[in-house]
Structure 1
Amino acid sequence: MRTPLPLLGLVLLTAVSCTHEALTRPAPPPGDSTERGRELAHRLIIADGHIDVPYRLQEKLGPGGEPTEDISQRTAGGDFDYPRAVEGGLDVPFMSIYIPAELQKTAGASKALADSLIDMVEKLARASPDKFALARSVDEARRNTGEGKISFAMGIENGSALEDSVANVAHFQKRGVRYITLTHSADNLLGDSSYAEGEHRWNGLSPLGRQVVAEMNRVGIMVDVSHLSDATIRQVLETSQQPVIASHSSCRHFTPGFERNLSDELIRAIAAKGGVVMISFGSGFLLQASQDHEKKLRAEALAFIQQRGLTRESPEVKTFIENWLREHPFPRARVEDVADHIEHVVKLVGIEHVGLGSDFDGVGPTLPVGLEDVSRYPNLFRVLLERGHGEAELEKLASGNVFRVWRQVEAAARP
């Protein structure tokens, strides 16, 4: 998820300490939780529902149209590369085929970008066949892991890539896409977005959106409800014959009023359908303090722009934001806050309905202290072990739950 707040592409400075209620659990078994967390992260299959590598690379293409970063080697920037993924135990990152909402205004542009980003993912796998492989099914993902390769599964972020054609659902299924997030930061032809401002276009899922959900069920693509408005999610759940995922969402319980996160009611409804909520790591998803900070900065920056007759791209705005942040350090979450969101889902609906959807390479420098990149999953496992979660629970969280939904959607596909 690229943040729809262009003023907040920022260098964020410090961390905040915050405590939330946690489940009451037995004491962890004896042993070094740091070492056990590392061992489990490397032994279990970790699938992350949302990593924005393709668009990160797309933004830094060389003169010949090739990525200027080589993610098969350790990179200076970004949150993902092969060495760090190996260090963190990441096995199956869902590569986000991210389509900016502004492309919806130009016919054909969204699909063209989606196809080009899929081409890029395929080229990345072909260029390093000893390190990467595509995963079009759970069986392929497991086989790749057994061969020591990192699997690139793919999900489209923003159903605008379908343009106005239900037939494009089957096109992208053949190209290896295994989930589609129906909207992004604005309402589109399929339905309403949680980020849209003002009156919604459809008050939920559009007629085309209902056809698309049915077609996704038919061809075996998971429906992703992250980014959708509450009404759209409810109508997706009414329409879909299969379980759905939220590939990168967290719990509104901790951020009241933030519709991009899921309410307890919606978490229960997704679970009742057999689905999975995959927790995002962005601090703004995790902490009310981070939400409040972003709102205050946005309001003051917009006031500054209006008072001086500037545009958002004006250099004075960048200077204003940098100075503001020096005076008001950003309150970053901690790895413990991610664990709190995981445990909130567990408390509501059980361990069978929660997963990981970091949004690495999509939320910039707002990642929690202790979860700064893909090398850091062992820290999350350590915290959960210390809170008394056992290996069987962590296996479901790491990949078992999303694999269950993926298999069910695969199995229900029909010609």
Structure 2
Amino acid sequence: MKKVYLTGLFIPLIVVLLSCESLDQKATKIHNHAFTIDTHVDTPYHLLDKDFDISISHPFVNGGSLVDFPRMKAGGLDGIFFAAFTSQKERTDENIITARCKADELIDSIYAACQKNSNLADVAISVEDGYRLEKEGKRAIYIGLENGFPIGKDIAEVERYFTKGVRYITLCHTSNNDICDSSTDKNGAEFNGLSAFGEQVVPKMNDLGIIIDVSHISDSSFFDVIKLSKTPVIASHSCARAVCDNPRNLSDKMLKALAKNGGVIQMCILDDYVKAPDTATVGYQKELELRTRYRNAGKMSKEEEDKLWDEWRQMQIDYPKDKPTVADAVDHIDHIVNLIGIDHVGIGTDFDGGGGLKDCADVSQMMNITKELLKRNYSEEEIGKIWGGNFMRVFKEVEEYAKNKKMALN
């Protein structure tokens, strides 16, 4: 019998098979090689719930926490910023002290969770800590203060929060405070940007080594910060206004100024910032009503606050949203990269504060963002920058400025 050798076909087939690494395999390799960080989640409120155990993996449920240490590991997430969030109230001494106590309680809960689960995670306060903990196979838990309201008009509070481990401060939230105007205050601008006190806060944060977070602040506040800050700034959880016209997002003019400053915008995956919401739905109206009631509430007891959080979680169960997709979110990255380059974009999900997509519902599914980036031909180096390289560069520059400032004073 005559033998037929198909060498000419066989060798190219082997080459093709060897080079056909699947999307999942390639994404896993790139994702696990990068230092990945999410710069904004609101998980600390769940830590106040005695029944919530962050050391165990929880199934996804509407209204439940989207973050725990095992799901961080499953999603290939090395570092995360837990936000100590306080809402805006009337700016009375009593309300500021109450907010200060709440922020401290949230920060203390982060330390307690990490101390209890020191084999899984630890509080990080520097760039070096993040990389060290990654090598140790632990999650690096950074702390951000969302809303400068607890600072009031006491500049010493900025340093106190730095001493407690806070490494960024979101200058305001949904309403104006004593530092600056918000992008969403129902009464409009109060200071036309930074207040006189805010003009003290920005350089104080620079000198201490606290990253300035411009998410939530008004356009005029943003440009005041850019003009005054000696270090790059971040938007810890914002998107591009040109893609989704929301005042919480950054306009192209703001993005260009951010790039000139050397800063970074951390793409948020909260639905209303990714795509314009359907305002006709019952769920939207219920959420709006709940947010309005919360903003207008005066001093609340712990029981009243717990009841409000329970209502928020129940609303998410009763009125689940038709959420955007990872592809919709990455449209924002595309726009930002095309406008200002690859060095000024990262990721800040806002999980447990409303963040989450159809195909990135919790922290265990973060690799789906990497897969979408690969589909759009982003390189391994570019994906590494998006997932943490850009943010950690800014963080390092902020650290170095404060170090040099301290040395100059000594």
State the TM-score, normalized to the length of structure 1. Answer: 0.82
Task: Work out whether 1:353 is the aligned partner of 2:340.
Answer: no
1:49 aligns with 2:69: no
Aligned to 2:4: none
The SS at the match of 2:188 is: coil
Mapping of residues 50-199 of structure 1, within 5 Å? 50-58=40-48, 60=49, 67-76=50-59, 77-102=64-89, 104-105=91-92, 106-199=95-188
Q: Which letter maps to 1:95? A: F
Residue identity matched to 1:393: E
- Does the residue aligned with 1:102 lie in a helix, a strand or coil? coil
Distance change in 2, residues 1:291/1:397 (3 Å):
farther
Question: One-letter code of the match for 1:285?
Answer: Y
The equivalent residue for 2:332 is 341
Q: Which amino acid aligns with 2:102?
A: L
- Shift in CA distance, 113/301, structure 1 to aligned 2, threshold 3 Å: closer
* In 1, Cα distance between equivalents of 2:56 and 2:230: 42
Counterpart of 2:15?
none
Matched with 1:260 is 248
Q: Is the counterpart of residue 224 in structure 1 residue 228 in structure 2?
A: no
Larger relative contact order, structure 1 or 2 (CA cutoff 8 Å, min sep 6): 1
- Alpha-carbon distance in 2 for matches of 1:353, 1:169: 26
Q: 1: CA distance between counterparts of 2:172 and 2:122?
A: 28
Q: What corresponds to 2:24 in structure 1?
A: 34
Superposition misfits of 4+ residues, deviation over 6 angstroms: 299-302
Deviations 1:283-306 (A, max 9, x none): 111112x2645799439987xx9x
Q: Give the C-alpha shift of residue 38 in structure 1.
A: 2.3
Per-residue deviation, 1:68: 1.8
CA drift at 1:75? 2.5
Deviation per CA, 1:326-376: give whole Å up to 9, x if none: 7xx84410010111111111011111000000001110xx62111100011
- The one of 264, 277, 298 aligned to 2:285: 298
Q: Partners in 1 of 2:213 and 2:91 — Cα distance?
A: 19
Residue 144 of structure 1 and its aligned partner are, at CA, apart by: 0.5
Match of 2:264 in 1: 276
Give the whole-Å Cα distance in 2 for the aligned partners of 1:30 and 1:100: 50
Q: Output one character per residue of 1:215-242: Cα deviation in whole Å (capped at 9) or x when no partner.
A: 0000000000000011110111111111
Cα shift at 1:185: 1.0
How far residue 386 of structure 1 moved from its aligned partner, in angstroms, is 1.1
1:12 corresponds to? none
1:403 alignment partner in structure 2: 392
1:35-65 deviations in Å (ceiling 9; x for gaps): 221232222111111011102333x3xxxxx
Are the counterparts in 2 of residues 356 and 398 from structure 1 also a CA contact under 8 Å? Answer: yes
- Whether contact under 8 Å (1:42, 1:88) holds in the other structure is no
Measured in 2, the distance between the counterparts of 1:409 and 1:299 equals: 41
Q: 1:263: how far off?
A: 0.5
Q: Distance in 1 between matches of 2:68 and 2:90?
A: 28
Distance 2:341 2:282 in 1: 33
Q: 1:43 to 1:104 in 2, by over 3 A?
A: farther
Amino acid at match of 1:84: R
Q: Relative to 1, partners in 2 of residues 1:390 and 1:30: Cα closer, same or farther, differing over 3 Å?
A: farther
Deviation at 1:32, TM superposition (A): 1.1
After TM superposition, give the deviation of residue 208 of structure 1 in Å: 0.5
Change (3 A) 1:350 1:294: farther
Following superposition, the deviation at residue 277 of structure 1 comes to 0.3
Amino acid at match of 2:401: A
Do the aligned partners of 1:41 and 1:381 also contact (CA within 8 Å) in 2? Answer: yes
* SS of residue paired to 1:79: coil
Q: 1:299 to 1:71 in 2, by over 3 A?
A: closer
The C-alpha deviation readout for 1:174-222, integer Å capped at 9, x for no partner, is: 1111100000011000011111012322111101011000100000000
Query: Equivalent residue for 2:8?
Result: none
Question: Are the equivalent residues in 2 in contact too, given 1:41–1:88 (CA < 8 A)?
Answer: no
Of the three residues 232, 240, 243, the one matched with 2:229 is 240
8 A Cα contact 1:103 1:109, kept in partner: no
Structure 2 residue matching 1:246: 3-state secondary structure: strand
Distance 1:398 1:298, change over 3 A: same
Partner SS state of residue 145, structure 2: strand
Distance of aligned partners of 1:193 and 1:138 in 2 relative to their CA distance in 1, 3 Å threshold? same
1:330–1:69 Cα change, 3 Å? closer
User: Which of structures 1 and 2 has the bigger CA Rg?
Assistant: 2
* Change over 3 Å in CA distance of 1:299–1:174 after alignment to 2: closer
Q: Point out where structure 2 has 5 or more consecutive residues left out of the alignment.
A: 1-18, 293-303, 305-310
In 2: Cα distance, 1:242 partner to 1:294 partner:
43
Q: Given that residues 270 and 276 in structure 1 are in contact (C-alpha distance below 8 angstroms), is that contact kept between their aligned partners in structure 2? A: yes
Residue in 2 that maps onto 1:23: none
Partners of 2:47 and 2:54 within 8 A in 1: no
